[in-house]
Amino acid sequence: MRLVLANARINNSFLNTLNIIIFMEYDLELDRAIEEIKKIKAKRVCIQLPDGLKPEAQKIADALKEKTRAEIIIWLGSCYGACDIPKQVEDLKVDLLIQWGHSEWKS
């Protein structure tokens, strides 16, 4: 399993290029997530979102699925940051966990 952190920054231009309805004022770096899914050929992906983005989870999942054909699982449990990786996600046997947060992960 791999972890990708995508930063939510104000900018909705990428969402326009996906031809989906603009549902928020954030650049969720969906292009980065799509690229990573394709790069590792992930078939099953879990997305983890902070509470403020959970109302848009299905739209995010649909956009990812449309561009990658991967099965997208929405994690509805807590998400308190990069250190909050749910232990139960291992039971889902996902190829990739994508976690969105408010700050960019610096490695």
How is the chain split into domains, by residue range?
2-101
- What gap in Å lies between CA 93 and CA 104, rounded to an integer? 26
- What gap in Å lies between CA 72 and CA 65, rounded to an integer? 6
- What gap in Å lies between CA 17 and CA 44, rounded to an integer? 24
Identify the three-state secondary structure at position 74: strand
Amino acid at position 83, single letter:
C
- The answer to whether 78 and 50 have CB atoms below 8 angstroms apart is no
Enter the pTM of the model.
0.71
Residue 51, pLDDT score = 82
**Whether residue 8 has pLDDT greater than 50:** no
Which tops the pLDDT comparison, 43 or 82? 43
What's the CATH fold of domain 2-101?
A: Rossmann fold (3.40.50)
Residue 11, pLDDT score = 45
> Mean pLDDT over residues 60-83, rounded?
86
